[in-house]
Structure 1
C-alpha cells in the first residue's frame, strides 16, 4: 500500500486470448510505474486510466503492446488512502464517461478542483463526476461512491461504501444544485442496512478493531448490475457486491419500487453467499458482466487486505511481514452455468456501422454499450436512418433506448422522434425522452407541450424525470405541468425535491397550486423567503377562508410561517381571532381545532388568556389530537410553570399523551427536575 520501495508500482496489463478459446494466454505490461491505477476503460486506440491525481490517456502507437504515448486529461483528484481514490470509468447512456470520486463521505474531497487538458478548472468537491475526455469537459454528479459506480440497462446509477453494499442515485446533482432557495435532500436511496450480514465459507478471520462487525460487510466495493440473460433463467435483475475481507461476493435481487428500487438477498435460505471461497487469500474486488454473458470476478488474491492505516499499533506490527504477500498473484473468474458455456465475444472494433447498430439488439448490455460508444466515437452519421428506424420499431426496448441515445450522441436526434417516444409503451423510454428533450424546450416549444401528457404517467420514475426536466424551461407551459405533478406527488419525497429544484422560474404557479390544494404550503413558504411579492400573495391566500371556512392546512401553514417570522400583521390578528373561535367550538373537527391551537399564544396582549384556553384543553373530554397540539403550543410558550400545568391532568391522559408530556418535560433541565420530583 505504500508503493514499491516508496515509488509508484502500479501496472496495467494487456491480456489477449490469441486462439479465441475463452482463456487469456498472453499478458503484456501496457503501463508500469503508475501511481496506484484504480480505474480503466478502453478509449479510442488506447485506454483511459484513473490514477490519482490524474485521469490520463495511454496508447500503444508502435504495436508492441506497450503504451508509448500518455496524455494527462484531468488532474487534481485527491491522493489519499489507496481505497479512497478516483476510480470507476463507465460509459453512460448520456454519451459521457462516468467516474467515482473514491470518497467514503463527501467531506473527504471537499474543495477539490479539477483541471482539464482544455485549460478549464472545475469545482468538483465531494461529488462523483462525468467527463467527455476528448473535449476536456467535466460535470459533478451525485455522490460520492467509494469504489465503483455502476449502472443498469436503463441508465440508473448505483454506488457503494465499505459498510453500505448498494445504493441507488435517485436524484442528479445538476438538478438539485440549480435553485439557491432549496436545500436538497440526500440524492440516494440506501438499499440495504448498514453493515448487513455476509455468509462466508469459513469462520471470520482475526480482526484488530470493530469486533462487532465480524461477519458483516466492512469492505463492500464494486457494485455490479448483471446485464444479460445468459447466466440466470428468470427475469430478475441481480446486483453483486464484492466483500474482499470475507472472501465473497453477495448477490441481491433488485425490484422496481416507484422511482427507485428495493433489494433483497437472492439466497435467503442458504448459509453461503453466491460466491464464497474457503481460501483466505481470495479477495474479490470487482465484479462485472462479461461480454460473453458470464459474471467476471476479479480476485486480487492477497494474504492481507486491510490497509495498515486502519490497524492499531499491535496489528500493524503483526501484519507488517505480510503487507505485500501475494503481490505476484491475481486472477479473473468467469462464473457461468454448467452446460451453458460463455458465448463467443464479437470483435466490435472490426464491425461496420450497420453491424454496430445491429448489436443494439444484443441481450448483453456490455456489447450494446461498446457498440454505442464506437458509433459515437467514430461519428457514424451514416447510421442515422437505421437508428431512427430502430428507435421507432424495434421489439426490444433496450435496443430502442440505445438507438435514441446514440442519435443524441451523433447530434442527429429530432424533436419529432422525441415526441413519438413520449408515447413509447416502455416507461424507461418515456423517461429518457424527457431527459433528452429538456435541452430542446426553447427551440421546440411544441415538444414541451407534447410532454405535458406525462404529468399523468402511471410510472413514478417518469413523473420524477418530468419534474426535473420541466425546471429547464421558463415557459408557463412548464410551470403549469410542474405544479400539476407537484400536487399529484406531494407525498413522494423524491418528486417533491425535484419539484422544488425546478421552482426557480415557477414559484408563483407552484405557490398558487399549493394554496388551491392545501398541500406543500410549509415548503413553499420556505422556498419563497427571498420573494417578498410572491410571498405576500401566498400569505394573503392563506389568510383568506374558503366558502366553508378555514382548512387545517391553512392554520398549520400560518403557524409554521409565524415560527420563522413572529411579526403579526393586522390581517393575521383577524385570523388568530378566528382560530380562537375554532378552538372553543366543540363541534369543530379535531384536525381543524388542533391546527388552530398552533396560532394561539402569539401576541403578548393575549398571552395570558390564550394560556387559559390551552390549559382547558388538557382534560379527558378533549380529543387527543387537540390535546397534543395544546401541549406543543404550551411548550413553545415555555412557561416555568409548565410542568405543574401538564402533570395536573396526568391520571386522565392516554398512553400516547403521557409519552408526549414526558418528552416535552425532558426538553429543559428545570422542567425535568420538577417532573422527577413529582414522580
Structure 2
C-alpha cells in the first residue's frame, strides 16, 4: 500500500468515534398545532451543523430513523453512489460545485471518486481511498465487475476504471464509449443515471440513446425521440423507469412506457396536490422567487426534484417496496410516492396528507440521490452544500443570489453525508457481498434474493461474464421457481447471455403471473423486429390476455416490426380496447410523431443543404436540452401548475425577429413575457458556439407549426459581437425596445 493511502486510512479510522452516530429520535421531532398540522419553523439558522446535530433535525414517520454511514472529512460534496459486487461503495464527488455565487473554478479537474468500505460489519464506512482523481465534476458512475464506469461533466465519453494492483486506486483506464463531441450545456442540463436496467440496457437522462454492454464496450441504441429527465433516474422491480425534471418542476415523468418506444406522459398521472411540497422550515433560497413561496416562506412546489429511486430492499417495512422516493434539496425533504397500476395506467400519490416522508430543519441538508443498498436499506446522499443551484441563476441581481449571500450559504462548502434509513425491529442484512470472484454457477441463486440489489448484481455479473454453461440452471428457474421475480431475472439473464431458446421463451409467455408474461413479451421484441413470423403468430392470441400490461407490451414490442401481421395485431388491440388510455395514447403519439417527422423531412428537403444540416442538428439538441421546460412537442410541460417556459409551437415570436431570438439564447431571458410570468427563466446558452445557437433556432423555426427562415451561424456571430459586454439576462421590455 502506498504511504499516502496509509495516512488516508489512518486519519479516518482515528476520527471515526467522533463522526458516526445513529438518530435516536423515536418521537415526533416537530411541533404541531391543535389540528395536528406541522408548525413550520419560520426563522431557521443557516449555520453548519455537525453530523450528530443533523441527525436530530430529521422528521420521519414513527419507527423510521436515520443512521450516518459516512461524512466529512471522509467524503466531500457527494452527488452519487453505487456498490460493487463485494459491497464496496463508490462515491462521486463534485468538489468544485458552486463554491460561490459565480461558480468560480467549477470546471477545474480536481474532483474525485472515492471507494469506501465497512471492514468490521457495523454498517459504518471505516476505510476510504481516492479511487480516481483529477476529474471534472463526475456525474455518471456504475459498477460492472471489478471495473467502474465513469463519465464527467462536459464530456460524452465513458471510461472504465480498474485497480489492478490492489492498492485501492484505479490504475487502468479504458474508453468504453466514444463520442468526442463536447457537451457544452449548462451542467444542470447534462445526462445522469447510467443505471443497468432489467433489460440489460444502461439508461441515462437527456441523451437520445441507451447503451448495451458488449465485450468490454458500450454500444449505443437510439431512442426515437430522446429520453426525459435531468438529475436522477430510477427503476422498479419490473424494469419500469422513472425520470424527473427540476427545470420543468416535474417530480416524475415518462414512466408509462420505456423511452425506447417513445416518450409518453398522460394527464392524470398525478394531480396538483402531488406537485405541492411540505417543508418544515422556511426555504427562502428558491430560484423561482416569491412565486414559489407560501406565506410562511416554504417552498410550494417541486423545483429541484432529483436523485429519485424505487425502494426494492428487504430491510424496511414491506409496504415500502415499490414506492418512489423523490429527494427535493431546495425543500430539504424526500417525497414518498405510492405507485398504483390501474389497468396498465400508472399513477402517483403522496403517501401522506400535506406532509413529507422525510423532512429536515437543517438548512444545509441537500438530499440529491438515493439508492437501495446490499443490506436492504435505503441510502440517501446528502451533498450538505449551501448553494444548490447553478450560477446562471445565482449571480448579482437575482433573487436567489441575494438570499444566498444574506444567509451566507456560500460559506458552507467541502462537506457531505451519506445516510442509511432503517426501521425499528428490522435489522439490516449484515451479509457481506462477496460476488466479484464467484463463478456464474454460484450467482444463479441470488436471482431469487428478496433484495433487488442482489438480483440486479447477480444478473449483471452473469451477463458480463458471458458463461453460457449456466443456461440449464437459468431455464430451470424460468420453468420451476415459485418466485415470479426470479423467473423474470432468469429470462433476462438468458437473453443477455444469448442463450434463450424458443421453448423456454414460450413457456414464460404462458406463465400464470402477468408480470412474467409481460417481460417475456418484452424479451421477444428483438426476435420480432428481426422478422420472426412464427413468434408473431404465437403472440397473436395475446390480444385477449387478461392483463392490460401484457397487451400494452405486446403493442410496444410489435411497434418496430415490418410484418403486416404485427401491424394488424396492433390495430386490433387499439380497436378492441379504446378505453385503455395508455395503449391508445401511446399509439396516437407514436403515429403523430411519425407523421410530423415525415412532414419535417419533406419540409427539410426544400431547404438548402446548409440549412437542412442546421435543422437536423437542432432537432437533436432540442430533444436533449429544451424539452425539459418547453415540452417535447414545443407545447409546454404537461400538467404543470405554472408553465416553466412559454410554448414554442406555432408561436408568432418564434416566427418573428431572429435577432431577438438570438439575444435570448446568448444571454438568457428573465421576467414576464407579454405580461405572463413563468416559473423558470431562460438560461444563457452563449457558452456554446455560433452553429449550436443557429441550429436550435433553425429547428424550432422550421417545426412545431412554425414556418420561418433558418438562422445562419454568421447571424449569431454578428449579434454576439454586438452584445459581447452584456453579462446578465434580457427582459422582455428590453428586447422589444432595443434596436
* Aligned position for 2:397: 314
Aligned residue among 174, 191, 195 for 1:71: 174
Say which of 280, 285, 289 aligns to 2:368.
285
Contact 2:209–2:220 (8 Å) recurs in 1: no
Contact 1:353–1:383 (CA under 8 A) maintained in structure 2 = yes
- Whether the 8 Å contact between 2:371 and 2:380 is mirrored in structure 1 is yes
1:248 Cα deviation after fit: 1.0
Q: Which has the larger radius of gyration?
A: 1
Matched, 1:329 2:432: no
Runs of 4 or more above 6 Å deviation: 500-503, 522-530
Task: Tell me, in whole angstroms, the C-alpha distance in 2 between the residues paired with 1:151 and 1:279.
Answer: 29
Question: 1:413, CA displacement in angstroms?
Answer: 0.3
Q: Which runs of 5+ in 1 are unaligned?
A: 102-123, 177-183, 504-521, 531-679
Q: Retained in 1: the 8 A contact 2:188–2:231?
A: yes
Of 346, 350, 355, 1:265 maps to 350
How far off its partner does 1:77 sit? 5.7
Match for residue 572 of structure 2 among 484, 487, 494: 484
Shift of 1:20: 2.1
1:117-516 alignment, distance < 5 Å = 127=208, 129-132=210-213, 134-141=216-223, 142-162=226-246, 163-176=249-262, 190-191=269-270, 193=272, 196-207=275-286, 209-214=288-293, 215=299, 216-234=301-319, 237-268=322-353, 272-311=355-394, 313-315=396-398, 316=401, 319=404, 325-344=411-430, 345-441=432-528, 444-496=532-584, 498-499=586-587
| Pair 203,448 (structure 1): closer, same or farther in 2 beyond 3 Å | same
SS of the counterpart of 2:423? coil
TM-score, normalised to structure 2, is 0.60
Write out per-residue CA displacement over residues 137-163 of structure 1, whole angstroms, 9 at most, x where no aligned residue.
Answer: 112344221011211000111100111
Per-residue displacement from partner, 1:490-513 (whole Å, max 9, x unpaired)? Answer: 34343235556898xxxxxxxxxx
Alignment CA distance shift 1:43-1:208 (3 Å) = closer
Q: Deviations over 1:523-550 (max 9, x none)?
A: 99999999xxxxxxxxxxxxxxxxxxxx
2:146 alignment partner, one of 35, 42, 45:
45
Tell which deviates more after alignment, 372-381 or 53-62: 53-62
Structure 2 residues without counterparts, runs of 5 or longer: 1-97, 294-298, 601-739
Q: 1:201 to 1:323 in 2, by over 3 A?
A: closer
C-alpha contact (below 8 Å) 1:464/1:495 kept by paired residues: yes
Equivalent pair of 2:268/2:347 in contact (CA under 8 Å): no
After TM superposition, give the deviation of residue 279 of structure 1 in Å: 0.8
Deviation at 1:41, TM superposition (A): 0.8
Q: Is the 8 A contact 2:337 2:348 kept in 1?
A: yes
| Residues 401, 429 of structure 1: 8 Å contact kept | yes
Give the number of the structure whose residues are more often helix, by fraction: 1
Distance 2:285 2:464 in 1: 49
Alignment counterpart, residue 16 of structure 1, candidates 98, 110, 117: 117
Compute the TM-score of the two structures, normalised by the length of structure 1.
Answer: 0.65
RMSD: 3.1
**Cα 1:528/1:251, change in 2 over 3 Å:** closer
Instruction: Return the offset for 1:49.
Output: 0.9
Shift of 1:186: 5.0
Contact 1:470 1:502 in 2 (8 A): no
CA shift digits 1:400-447 (9 cap, x unpaired): 000000000000001111111121112121112112223224675432
Contact persistence 2:237–2:322 (CA under 8 A)? no
In structure 1, distance between residues paired with 2:409 and 2:283: 20
Which shows bigger deviation, 337-346 or 442-451? 442-451
Matched residue, 1:32: 133
Structure 1 residues 13, 381: closer, same or farther in 2, change over 3 A? same
What secondary structure does 1:38 align onto? strand
Does structure 1 retain, via aligned residues, the 8 Å contact 2:287–2:393?
no
Once the two structures are superposed, what CA deviation does each residue of 1:626-646 show, in whole Å capped at 9, x if it has no partner?
Answer: xxxxxxxxxxxxxxxxxxxxx
Q: Distance in 1 between matches of 2:168 and 2:493?
A: 31
